[in-house]
Structure formats: structure tokens, C-alpha cells
């Protein structure tokens, strides 16, 4: 709960993703290390730490999810404000 992690139904375990909240422009990089969410209509479940940094702690919100490749992680792609979601 205190690490920057998330659960996703189909992404390979382990993998990394950039999660962005369009409403406030915040984004975080998380490690996908679990399966889920098991609630209809949800795409991803974030740890408390990731949700807090994104501004969605204890709520359901619209987010954009982008799986990060090794090259994108190495080059800092997920930090680039101009990068496509």
C-alpha cells in the first residue's frame, strides 16, 4: 500500500505503467505487480501511495494508462510533459 504499485487485469507481471489524471495533469509511474481490479468498470487499482500522488485517494476517477517499455523508462519518457498518454 505504501509503494508505487498497481493491479491490472491484462498487463504482464511485473511491468511498469504511467498513470495520468487528465483533470489535474498529474502523473505517476507504477509497477504492475498484482491482478485486478475485480470491480466491473475499473481498469486499474492503485496503491495508496500512487493514488495520493495522483490526487485520487479513496475515490474512483478517470485516468489514462500507458504501459511503459524498457526504453521509455530508461530515457525518462514518462516524465516528459509533451509525451502522449
Q: How many structural domains is the chain composed of? A: 1
Q: Say how many residues make up the chain.
A: 85
pLDDT of amino acid 79: 75
74 assigned to some structural domain:
yes
- Position 49 in a domain: yes
**What CATH number is attached to the domain comprising 25?**
2.40.40.10
pLDDT, tens digit (0-9, with 9 covering 90-100), for 33-68: 999 999 999 999 999 999 999 999 999 999 999 999
Closest CA to 44 of 81, 5, 83, 75: 5
Q: What percent of the chain has pLDDT over 70?
A: 93
- Report the mean per-residue pLDDT for the chain: 91
Supply φ then ψ for residue 66, to 5 degrees: -130, 120
Q: List Cβ neighbours of 9 (8 Å cut-off, separation of 6 or more).
A: 35, 36, 37, 43
**85 domain residue, yes or no:** no
pLDDT value for 81: 57
Which three cell numbers, joined as nine digits, stand for 56?
Answer: 485520487
Q: What is the pTM of this model?
A: 0.88
Amino acid at each position: 500500500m505504501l509503494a508505487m504499485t498497481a493491479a491490472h487485469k491484462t498487463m504482464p507481471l511485473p511491468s511498469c505503467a504511467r498513470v495520468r489524471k487528465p483533470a489535474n495533469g498529474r502523473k505517476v509511474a507504477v509497477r504492475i505487480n498484482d491482478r485486478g481490479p475485480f470491480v466491473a468498470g475499473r481498469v486499474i487499482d492503485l496503491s495508496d501511495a500512487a493514488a495520493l500522488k495522483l490526487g485520487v485517494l479513496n475515490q474512483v476517477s478517470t485516468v489514462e494508462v500507458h504501459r511503459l517499455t524498457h526504453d521509455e523508462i530508461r530515457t525518462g519518457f514518462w516524465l516528459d510533459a509533451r509525451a502522449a498518454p
